[in-house]
A and B are shown apart, each in its own frame.
Chain A
Amino acid sequence: MKSKILASAVATLFVVAVAAPASAEIVITQKAKKFDKKKISIKKGEAVKFVNSDSISHNTHSRSSGGKFDLGVSKPGTAVSKVFDKSGKFKVRCTIHPKMKLTVKVN
């Protein structure tokens, strides 16, 4: 009985472990007018969630060729997400606070 439970638990863990990357969402925090990371590497099709933990609004956009997007303005305490479905290197910035810079490398 114990071994069945153990096997079942291992199987569940395995499923979770395998399923995790498909639904993985990388979280980037906007705080003190900075992204909490300068560079990240992700796989094509993965999403990045931008969480505004600041006391002011932020914008999230990219002007990089082949990957332009603008997620609009995020109020404090809100979040926006972007699925990166093309390979390449994309510079993400805030149009209000242009010193905020993040490079997303999509493999």
Chain B
Amino acid sequence: MGAYNKISKFAISMVVAVSGFATVASTAAIGAEKKSREEWKKEYVRPSEIPFPKENPYTAAKADLGRTLFFDPRLSGANYISCGTCHNPSFAWGDGLAKGIGHAMTRLGRRTPTILNLAWGEYLMWDGRFETLEQQALGPMAAAVEMNQNMKAIVAELQSIPEYRTLFNVSFPGKGITVDNIAKAIATFERTVVRGVAPFDRWIAGDEHAISTSAKRGFDLFNNKANCVACHSGWNFTDSSFHDIGMPDKDIGRGKVVPGVVVMQHAFKVPTLRNAVERAPYMHDGSLKNLYSVVEHYDNGFVTRPSKSEEIYKLNLTAPEKTDLVEFMKTLSSKDAPVALPRLPAYDQTVAGSLNVSPAAGPSTGSSAMRA
């Protein structure tokens, strides 16, 4: 628990420490806008605090409980997959795989997205099917191909662990362990997962030596010729929008959620670019090995179809320009202290009992689910 407090305090104090905060008005993303470098830099100032919804306000105890739950594999049906199994902090809260692996080694349909900076997210998952982080927190747990947890059984399972009873009673006085409170605790923890100050942030704050000349040229390209800013706008490098960027696979993404909207066919969530270097491979299908490949895709590698975003077009970037863009994206990585794992609550040692664990040899029941 103590270790988590450090993370939580770090996440909040880290952003509070950045001076000159202004709410980032996301006017940046209209690609045709012409601004000077200094004007663009004003669009990328970090926020000073993490937003928490009034329906689920922050408390240290709740975030601490959420962190414990996040790393507890007993939240999965077979008790061996935690949220942190796929959202590994050592991979900037992803898993480093092209496509995630779930219950009984099931290969999932999409790459595991990072949970980094989700406090600012909207319509979560690659296809935006969950409106809140609380809804999202339960999705993978209940999905048969992911954590394969019986959501009716999880409450009883946690109830049987004395320390969890105590932790939930502290975080949710008079309410204790419920599915909703599991979701609220995990979501609260996830909102505290904010990466620290990167070289780019130091440059924005006035340190001209924080990033290279090549990276600065990359920043100019990012906001102008390459038009990355059309969607990867603001300090978190995403406007949370959905676009068909012309990946050639058959996954229709958000098209399943909003089938009547043509431009949402093959559309996926625009991810943050924060700490992108540690989160290869890239795209919803994990098909692009490195950031240079990503730049190549946007330059001229996309497929054209009726749903393709109007903001995706041939860029005609030169090889040095592509290198500059990659150099710029490298500056978005912070070097934070390693994340300490929590001590997990022990089973009750005072009464005899047996565990009711679903077999690990294949998903049991429930609908299949695409990865986040």
Q: Which chain A residues have a beta carbon within 8 Å of chain B's beta carbons? A: 32-34, 54-57, 59, 61, 63, 70, 72-73, 95-99
Q: Is the interface of B mostly helix, strand, loop or mixed?
A: loop
Known contacts A32-B30, A33-B29: A96-B240 contact under CB 8 Å: no
Determine whether the beta carbon of B264 is less than 8 Å from that of A96.
Answer: yes
Whether A72 lies near B26 (C-beta < 8 A) is no
Shortest Cβ distance from B120 into A: residue: A99
Complex partner residue of B263 from A33, A70, A73, A98, CB under 8 angstroms: A73
CB <8 Å contact, A95 and B264:
yes
Q: Mark B243-280, 1 if CB is under 8 A from A, else 0.
A: 10000000000100010111110010000000000000
Could you tell me the distance in whole angstroms from the C-beta of B283 to the nearest C-beta in chain A? 19
- Are B30 and A99 touching (Cβ within 8 A)? no
Q: Which of B219-239 contact A (CB under 8 A)?
A: 230, 239
Task: For A97, give its contact among B25, B239, B258, B261 (CB under 8 Å).
Answer: B239
A56 to B313, CA, bound (A): 14
**A99–B26 Cα gap in the complex (Å)?**
10
Interface centre among B30, B241, B258, B267 (most CB of A within 10 A): B241
Query: B27 contacts A32, CB within 8 Å?
Result: yes
Instruction: Give the distance in Å from the alpha carbon of A32 to the alpha carbon of B260 in the complex.
Output: 24
Residues of A within 8 A of B25 (CB): 32
Nearest CB in chain A to that of B29: its residue:
A33
Bound CA span A54–B239, Å: 15
Closest residue of chain B to A95 (Cβ to Cβ) is B258
**Contact B262–A73 (Cβ < 8 Å):** yes
Q: A55-B30, A56-B310 are in contact. Are A98 and B122 (CB under 8 A)?
A: yes
Complex-state Cα separation, A70 to B263, whole angstroms: 14
Q: How many A-B residue pairs have CB under 8 A?
A: 62
Q: Is the CB of A99 within 8 A of B240?
A: yes
Q: Is B27 touching A95 in the complex (CB atoms < 8 A)?
A: no
Main secondary structure of the interface of A (DSSP, over half): loop
Instruction: Name the CB-closest residue of A to B264.
Output: A95
Known: A56-B310, A99-B240. A73 touches B27 (CB 8 A): no
Tell whether, in the assembled complex, residue A55 and residue B122 are in contact, meaning their CB atoms are under 8 Å apart: no
Residues 33-53 of B at the A interface (beta carbon under 8 Å) = none
**Given A96-B242, A97-B241; A56-B263 close (CB under 8 Å):** no
Knowing A33-B239, A55-B30, A55-B32, the reply to whether A98 touches B123 (Cβ < 8 A) is yes
A63 to chain B, nearest CB (A): 8
Which residue of the partner chain, among B32, B128, B240, B261, contacts A73 with CB atoms under 8 Å? B261
Of A55, A95, A99, the residue contacting B239 (CB under 8 A) is: A99
> Which residues from A are CB-within-8-Å of B263?
57, 59, 73, 96
Q: List the B side residues contacting A55 at CB < 8 Å.
A: 30-32
Cβ of B160 to closest chain A Cβ, rounded Å: 36
Assembled-state Cα–Cα distance A99/B31 (Å): 18
Q: Which residue of chain A is the closest to B263 with respect to CB atoms?
A: A73
Assess whether A72 is in contact with B260, with CB atoms less than 8 Å apart: yes
Closest to B128 in A: A98
B311 at the interface (CB under 8 A from A): yes
With both beta carbons as reference points, the residue of chain A lying nearest to B31 in the complex is identified as A55
| A96 and B241 contact, CB distance less than 8 A | yes
Minimum CB–CB distance from B310 to chain A (whole Å) comes to 6
Within 8 A of A (CB), among B311-366: 311
Q: Across the interface, do A70 and B261 meet the contact criterion of CB distance under 8 Å?
A: yes
Show 5 residue pairs from A and B whose CB-CB distance is below 8 angstroms, ordered by the A residue.
A34-B26, A96-B267, A97-B241, A98-B123, A99-B240
Q: Looking at the complex, which one of A32, A54, A72 makes contact with B261 (CB distance below 8 Å)?
A: A72
What is the bound-complex CA distance between A73 and B45, given in angstroms?
Answer: 32
Known pairs A98-B241, A99-B122 / 12 extra A-B pairs, C-beta < 8 Å: A33-B239, A34-B26, A55-B30, A55-B32, A56-B30, A56-B230, A56-B311, A57-B310, A59-B264, A72-B261, A97-B241, A99-B26
Cβ-defined contact, A98 with B261, below 8 A:
no
A89 to B346, CA, bound (A): 46
- B261 pairs with A95, CB closer than 8 A: yes
**Cβ of A30 to closest chain B Cβ, rounded Å:** 12
- C-alpha spacing A54/B241, complex, angstroms: 15
Question: Considering the chains assembled together, what is the distance between the CA atoms of A55 and B311 in angstroms?
Answer: 10
| B residues less than 8 Å from A73 (CB atoms) | 261-263
In the complex, what distance in Å separates the CA atom of A97 from the CA atom of B241?
Answer: 4
Q: Is the CB of A98 within 8 A of B26?
A: no
A66→B263 CA distance, assembly (Å): 26
Contacts of B254 in A (CB 8 A): 95
Q: Which residues of A contact B31 (CB under 8 A)?
A: 55
